[in-house]
Chains A and B, each alone.
Chain A
């Protein structure tokens, strides 16, 4: 197999402005992700999985170790990486269409071409009637779709997602996940990395599920999800194979969650 697209070897601590003692967030995390993979990271809350994602995105620097994308060390935000946030981060003073065009504008794409591409992605995410809406005039699901379209419009090679679906109701979530999965499968080898606390979601979408420990986080186990694609994420959950996998990974995850919840354990 060729060299991995993403190579992570980090240890990360955070020191608050007036804190003397640094707080260890990630104890040694090593991870290799190959081009075209869809990988999910699950773990108890506070395990540092979101922090790991911001490090990969280049939004923060790890205190120790290296992160490489395509063999190049990450030193800041890269134009070939996309990040979908948990809370919608659309510009409230821009319409949906203007928000989706932003990344193209930052890349110097002309107005007409920008509009055309944005319209194309808005169509794919069911936003064709909402071009002129401001974020406050849209539902939570519509805003999430717009945020996803705004990131996919520049076709990032590595797509990072930080619990993007956690604030949505179940039906909306299923539909948006399906759209994201379809969009991903139509790309030429886009790599997707999803951080979630929802194991079902992780299995249904991914090729690989990585379990992280209670914080300070490290990787506990790494499971391959050998469910054939294309998948129907609503039907796939009822299959026996899915449930066996779920049971196996959940046993691991549960241990981590319980350890964190155990009384008397210093955090």
Chain B
């Protein structure tokens, strides 16, 4: 893509967002009772910024999401490696993984709160179990579909087992993890906020829930907007990372 077309697209994005905000604001006079206007949301965010509620709560949510995601990635890698290396383990465990994946895990959130309490630990465990299936299936697929010729070629060139893991399996897994990272990160954030929303003492989800309890639609919407901004920022950063890490792949 040429630089100017890219610039044009960014411009179009900005214009679209501006237009939506403008229409929303204009229509807001009629709907203000149940849907906050952008100006109301903006002033709510301003209040949060000045009393530093935001600075306190954003890190709480990010910490829960990040810890949960890291645990999910590690667990997914270990599980996938186990299942991929043994056909018995695969036949034994795969139905359970499919079952776990199909379960509405979010509906189980209250159970986690009951068992693990409402502290950080509970949120992290909830995020990890909810998210683990995304990287698991992509890593398992990456491990089991490694090209036979590439493997045999590495063996013929003299690669021993450890070298094959390092030079063939690890890059294959890394690329699949990076490719699914955007979904994984988004889902981690979502589940962390959901857990906060259900029961907690801190975090963006908690803030939204409090606002709703007190019928402060402006603050509830402000929370949603903050989440959206964070999500977009992280997504853009991940895209950059993906482009760098997967430079050897066909541009998709």
Contact = CB atoms under 8 A, between A and B. Distances in A.
Interface of A: 54, 57, 59, 77, 79, 81-83, 85-94, 102-103, 106-107, 134-136, 147, 150-151, 154
Given A93-B175, A134-B247, A103 B157 contact: yes
24 contacts: A59-B155, A77-B156, A77-B158, A79-B158, A81-B156, A85-B149, A89-B150, A89-B152, A89-B154, A90-B153, A91-B150, A91-B171, A93-B171, A93-B175, A94-B167, A102-B157, A102-B167, A103-B158, A106-B159, A106-B163, A134-B248, A136-B249, A147-B153, A151-B157
Contact of A136 (B149, B168, B175, B250): B250
Contacts of B159: 102, 106
B13 interface: no
Contact of A92 (B152, B160, B249): B249
A119 to B, nearest CB: 18
B198 to A, nearest CB: 42
Given A91-B150, A91-B167, A83 B249 contact: no
Nearest to B172: A93
B147 interface: yes
Is the interface on chain B under 10, 10 to 19, 20 to 34, or 35 or more residues?
Answer: 20 to 34
Given A87-B149, A93-B175, A59 B247 contact: no
Contacts, number: 65
B248 A83 contact: no
Contacts of B154: 89, 91, 102
Q: Decide if the interface of chain B is mainly helix, strand, loop or mixed.
A: helix
A83 B153 contact: yes
A23 B169 CA distance: 31
Given A91-B168, A106-B163, A82 B156 contact: yes
Interface in B160-210: 160, 163, 167-168, 171, 175
Contacts of A57: 156
B137 to A, nearest CB: 21
Contacts of B149: 85-89
Contacts of A82: 156
Contacts of B155: 59, 77
B247 A85 contact: no
Given A59-B152, A89-B147, A106 B248 contact: no
A85 B168 contact: no
Interface in B118-176: 147, 149-150, 152-160, 163, 167-168, 171, 175
Given A136-B248, A136-B249, A85 B158 contact: no
A150 B156 CA distance: 11
A59 to B, nearest CB: 5
Contact of B248 (A81, A92, A154): A92
